Structure 1
Amino acid sequence: MNPENRDDYLILVNSTHSVSNDYKPSDLTDIADTRKDRDAQQMCLVAEKALEALYIEMRANGFTDVSVTSGYRSYYTQEYLFNNSVNSIMSRDGCSEAEAKKKAAVGTAPPGTSEHQTGLCCDMHNLDTAKQSFADEAAAKWLAENAHKFGFILRYQKDKQDITGIMFEPWHFRYVGRYHATKMYEYKMCLEEYLAKYKNS
């Protein structure tokens, strides 16, 4: 499934490219494969339909226990999660709020800088909670090698933290469309690298 304009889903959201507190996609729809113990998660329609196709193929390959634990998040939901992380780090490490915010931002994006607000990404895994150990699961390896065929990229790769500013997240997949996802997979680039190359080509 490709959008008419293949560049429509290349929006970059990170620590230097933010979205406003009222940004919300107009076509959010429930994700069919939300984990059963979670409230229904949502994504933009084109991304959700691509995700359904990915799940059909993933299950056909024997991986039946992966489910979506998080999709679209509002600015204020992200603010709540970020503040919780900051407070937890302050209590654990005894550091200042400013230092805690720096540490927290590596694993939990500050409000306005999270891809989840775009409605184009989701967290999916087969563990009790998102952990880097998911990368060792056969399902995670299958996703890393095949997600691009359905328009998704593994957004926060293991060797790209210095570029993305986010730690390795083997559970976080972002929809960009099949054309660009395949190019990024072939070039072994993260979104920031690819956009720099794409805009200069």
Structure 2
Amino acid sequence: MFEFTKVSDDCIKCGKCIPTCTIHQVNQDEVTSPRGFIDLLANYQKGELELDKNAKDIFESCFLCTNCVDVCPNSLPTDMVIEEVRNDIAKKFGIAWYKRVFFWLLRHRWAMDLASKLGYVFKSCALKSSSEGLIPRFNLPMVKKDRLLPSIAGKSFLNSYPEKIKGENSKKVAIFIGCLANYNYTEIGDSLVYILKELGFDILIPKKQKCCA
């Protein structure tokens, strides 16, 4: 368990984290900057900040991209302390139904495959295509109208290749693909397979691999 007040005291308020913060680029408010998160967490631990819906929304706005951690001169674990307070949030407010559904899908590959196929077939009903991805036609759970979303592949990466691909030499490589590369950015995996084939590697693509999260 982290000592939020110590993390806050270790922050020298240099501001290097702010230009890299994904959320701050959208909502340019000190409260939703990495050092703002840290100060709020310290106040929460000292009992000076109530974990109400407003605080919940602030702490849940962080993408946990770790950009701030990478540039922090003190390597403060901003992402990890936010994850810890989110545990308190889940205990107090529970987990939204749509998040429960999503987590269940991530644990069951067959269901995620089915959801992805249905999403691809019916995406035009709720989403409109653009040159950069997909845009919701109306507000959806967790997604507001006009927010840019990644495209949905017609066939997942894992379902596009056999489990073993024989190469020309004895070198072997296993591919563990992330969910986005499996269902959305399949061209990443396609390019990786192409390169490994050109290099003559034996390729193993475990079909029972699970979500890394």
* Larger Cα-atom Rg: 2
Does the TM-score normalized on the shorter chain lie above 0.5? no
TM range (shorter): under 0.3
More strand per residue: 1
More helix per residue: 2
